[in-house]
């Protein structure tokens, strides 16, 4: 049974169809990322699945239940890390995590959890003294406290410094190993590419694309970029015929190729014949970020204003 099943989900706010006929499934143990520009409908979708918002139409099953009817037993199986949870400012980190863990029948050890999210040095600090990134780590600890089967992570690493972000990614990877299903919303495409088994790209309440990052990249029709620096001694030599016209900016040459193996072969053969090195030679297949930008570019969502 999938952990999440969504069929033709619709939610409108007045004239705005924030979610406009969305259908997808999230498998048990899968990490599924919802991507899309501001106002695309990601949070609305996630909050309907969490049971915090109502829907206008469509069917939704979360761990086999309709979240609109989910009682305490259902909620105990779910963890939620929201974008901006309010905290009791006077509590210490440990007190809050203990309180939260105490609400669940099966919970992580609070001190282990605090270590896991990188707040060991702040165990006894009051919440009001935490930095923005440290508060987000506390959000993460609170969402995980009940050892949930299904975890909703809404932009979990916004405001994290790079080291904290990598630590959070390691934590999510460890949760995957333990079998936790995760629905992630994020604006960091690298985060989605690293963590997600499958991604869905939303815009204006609709799904534009759904698949593994590799499927989206392969299906995008975007070229592989071959780039290198042209040595000064080769400036007049003329480049070999390649499958696409190169663009030259200063000494850097870039070719968007749909036949990268043949083009690299021609290019390197040409360079070897002339005794040239090609400094900074790189062959870069499209990244998830390129696919995302191609899907969403020039179609900015005017409802987000
Ligand atoms: N409570 C609300 N009342 C009225 N309109 C709303 C409400 N919540 C969301 N919307 C509108 O619904 C649309 C989708 O919003 P939503 O927050 O789901 O987008 P999002 O993809 O999560 O955006 P972001 O990336 O900025 O968090 C937007 O146009 C937003 O203005």
Give residue ranges with CB within 6 A of ligand 1: 13, 16, 18, 36, 38-44, 303-304
Name the one residue in this structure whose structure tokens are 């495409």: 189
pLDDT digits (tens, 9 = 90+) for 233-282: 777 767 889 999 999 888 889 999 999 999 999 999 999 998 888 888 99
Nearest residue by C-alpha to atom 22 in ligand 1: 43
Cα of 34 from ligand 1 centre, angstroms: 14
For ligand 1, pick from 20, 40, 82, 208 the residue to mutate: most ligand atoms within 8 Å of CB: 40
Q: What is the 3-state secondary structure (H, E, C) of the chain?
A: CCCEEEEEEEEEECCEEEEEEEEEEECCCCEEEEECCCCCCHHHHHHHHHCCCCCCEEEEEECCECHHHCCHHHHCCEEEECCCCCCCCCCEHHHHHHHHHCCCCCCCCHHHHHHHCCCHHHCCCEHHHCCHHHHHHHHHHHHHCCCCCEEEEECCCCCCCHHHHHHHHHHHHHHHHCCCEEEEECCCHHHHHHHCCEEEEEECCEEEEEECHHHHHHHCCCCEEEEEECCHHHCCCCCCCCCCCCEEECCEEEEEECCHHHHHHHHHHHHHHCCCCCCCCEEECCCHHHHHHHHHCCCCCHHHC
Nearest residue by C-alpha to atom 5 in ligand 1: 13
Cα of 203 from ligand 1 centre, angstroms: 11
Cα of 36 from ligand 1 centre, angstroms: 12
For ligand 1, pick from 17, 41, 45 the residue to mutate: most ligand atoms within 8 Å of CB: 41
For ligand 1, pick from 12, 15, 16, 186 the residue to mutate: most ligand atoms within 8 Å of CB: 16
Cα of 45 from ligand 1 centre, angstroms: 10
Cβ atoms of 111 and 145 closer than 8 Å = no
* pLDDT value at residue 21: 96
What are the residue ranges in the chain where pLDDT is below 50? Answer: 300-305
Cα of 240 from ligand 1 centre, angstroms: 51
* pLDDT value at residue 158: 83
Model ipTM? 0.97
Backbone angles phi, psi at 261, to 5 degrees: -65, -50
Cα of 204 from ligand 1 centre, angstroms: 10
Cα of 239 from ligand 1 centre, angstroms: 50
Cβ atoms of 150 and 63 closer than 8 Å = yes
- Those residues with Cβ within 8 angstroms of residue 130's Cβ, 6 or more apart along the chain or in another chain: 93, 122, 138
Give this prediction's pTM. Answer: 0.85
Can you tell me which atom of ligand 1 is nearest the CA of 43?
22
Cα of 183 from ligand 1 centre, angstroms: 18
Nearest residue by C-alpha to atom 2 in ligand 1: 13
């Amino acid at each position: 049974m999938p952990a999440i099943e969504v069929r033709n989900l619709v939610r409108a706010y007045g004239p705005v169809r924030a979610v406009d006929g969305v259908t997808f499934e999230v498998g048990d143990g899968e990490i599924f990322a919802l991507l899309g520009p501001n106002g695309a409908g990601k949070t609305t979708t996630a909050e309907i699945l969490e049971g915090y918002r109502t829907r206008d139409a469509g069917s939704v099953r979360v761990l086999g239940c309709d979240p609109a009817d989910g009682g305490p037993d259902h909620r105990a199986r779910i963890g939620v890390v929201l974008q901006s949870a309010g905290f009791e400012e006077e509590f210490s980190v440990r007190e809050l995590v203990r309180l939260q863990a105490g609400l669940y029948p099966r919970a992580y050890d609070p001190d282990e959890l605090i270590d896991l999210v990188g707040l060991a040095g702040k165990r006894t600090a009051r919440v009001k003294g935490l930095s923005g990134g440290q508060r987000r780590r506390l959000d993460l600890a609170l969402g995980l406290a009940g050892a949930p089967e299904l975890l909703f992570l809404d932009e979990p690493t916004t405001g994290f410094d790079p080291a904290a972000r990598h630590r959070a990614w390691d934590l999510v990877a460890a949760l995957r190993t333990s079998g936790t299903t995760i629905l992630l919303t994020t604006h960091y495409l690298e985060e989605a590419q690293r963590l997600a088994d499958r991604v869905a790209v939303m815009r204006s309440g609709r799904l534009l694309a759904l698949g593994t990052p590799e499927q989206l990249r392969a299906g995008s029709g975007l070229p592989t970029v071959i780039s290198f620096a042209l040595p000064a001694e080769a400036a007049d030599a003329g480049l070999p015929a390649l499958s696409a016209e190169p663009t030259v900016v200063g000494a850097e040459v870039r070719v968007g190729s749909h036949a990268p193996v043949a083009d690299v072969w021609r290019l390197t053969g040409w360079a070897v014949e002339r005794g040239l090195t090609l400094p900074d030679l790189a062959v870069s297949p499209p990244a998830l970020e390129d696919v995302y930008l191609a899907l969403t570019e020039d179609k900015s969502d005017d409802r987000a204003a």
